[in-house]
Amino acid sequence: MSRPPFRVLYIGGMGRSGSTVLQAMLGQLPGVVAAGELRYLWQRGPIDNVLCSCGEHFGACPFWVEVGDGAFGGWHELDAPAVVALQATIDRHRYLPQIVGPARRTDVAARLEQYMALVRRLYSGIASASGSAVIVDSSKDPPHGFILQRTFGESFRVAHLVRDSRGVAYSWTKRVQRPEVTTRASYMEQTGPATMALKWVDYNLLFHVLRALGAPTVLLRYEDLVREPATALERLLTLVGEARPPGPLPGEGGSVEIRPEHTLSGNPLRFRTGSMPLRNDDEWKRRMPDSQRRIVSAITAPLLAAYGYSPRRTTIRRAR
């Protein structure tokens, strides 16, 4: 398989860890397109026709129309429900041994190759429509990351984004409406603190496995990202083989300019425009019940310590 003329930078980790802010900053760099959570495109694009963050519905967004034309000869030529059904037989935690292992059942291998072919066409369409050398996929989900590594090989990179598990768990208890769904009131998933703590461990450990399997990776902490955004972006530019552009980087000066992009899924922050101060969202320190904090700390303590967080205190040691 020939190497594609673009690179894929995958933002991996647990949701509510600052990926929307990171994506917004990356999307402002020359040669980089922030495409959103592409794992969900098959359902939320051609089937649900949700709002793109540019303000147009998927079917009317010029960018996604061009992507569909280039990748599939038009979205009408793609059997999206069949793709979603195929994805459900591959892009799941339970299939990771089959994706990663050298030996896999014949039927699984055939489904995997079929799905990877569709992914190649989609990402090639995005690269062509945007004219970008780097595609940022902020799906975060580990199985999707493993599939992308198999699909793109040496052109695949990972920004492993972590945030204090207690902040993540607290965020997942909030009720947040999804503005991209316009036909009914739809809310982002809510998850209890103990369940989210277990998922936080699972997701982060799997991205360490992906790194061990050869995926070039930069580990970033959300708290460091908002404090020193230029340092984080410089590390990621090096990771994807791009030179630092002249002038200040997005986020330098303590704020980031949120601009219209073409993303279909993620935090409602995607729909904001204008200057946004960069600050550490530590509301959990004041509002998270002590009982929930203790549960999350106990479950995640080893990884919290490994990432430089104190499992007992709310202070953070600066990464070196």
Query: Whole-angstrom Cα distance, residue 89 to residue 83?
Result: 10
What's the mean pLDDT when you consider all of the chain? 91
For 249-283, the pLDDT digits (tens) are 999 989 888 788 899 877 677 767 788 889 999 99
How far apart, in whole angstroms, are the C-alpha atoms of residue 163 and residue 177? 22
The rounded distance, in Å, linking the Cα atoms of 118 and 96 is 19
Taking only the tens place, the pLDDT of each residue in 191-239 is: 899 999 999 999 999 999 999 999 999 999 999 999 999 999 999 999 9
Task: Sort 280 into a burial class: Cβ within 10 Å, 0-12 / 13-18 / 19+.
Answer: middle
Highest mean pLDDT among 118-132, 162-176, 249-263: 118-132
- Pair of tokens at residue 159: 């920004």
pLDDT band at 185 (very low <50, low <70, confident <90, very high): low
Residues 113-124 have pLDDT tens digits of: 999 999 999 999
HSE on the CB side for 211, CA within 13 Å?
A: 15
pLDDT, position 316: 47
Residue 52's alpha-carbon distances to 13, 36, 48, in angstroms, are: 23, 10, 11
- Is residue 320 over pLDDT 50? no
The rounded percent of the chain whose pLDDT value lies above 70 is 91
Judge whether residue 154 has pLDDT over 90: yes
Instruction: State the pLDDT at residue 315.
Output: 47
pLDDT at 182 over 70: no
Closest CA to 236 of 304, 154, 147, 134: 134
Per-residue confidence (pLDDT) for residue 106, from 0 to 100: 86
- What is the domain partition of the chain in residue ranges? 7-280
Radius of gyration of the chain from its Cα atoms, rounded to whole angstroms: 19
Q: Per-residue pLDDT averaged across 291-319, rounded?
A: 83
Pick the CATH number of 7-280 from 3.40.50.300, 3.30.70.3280, 3.10.180.10, 3.40.630.30: 3.40.50.300
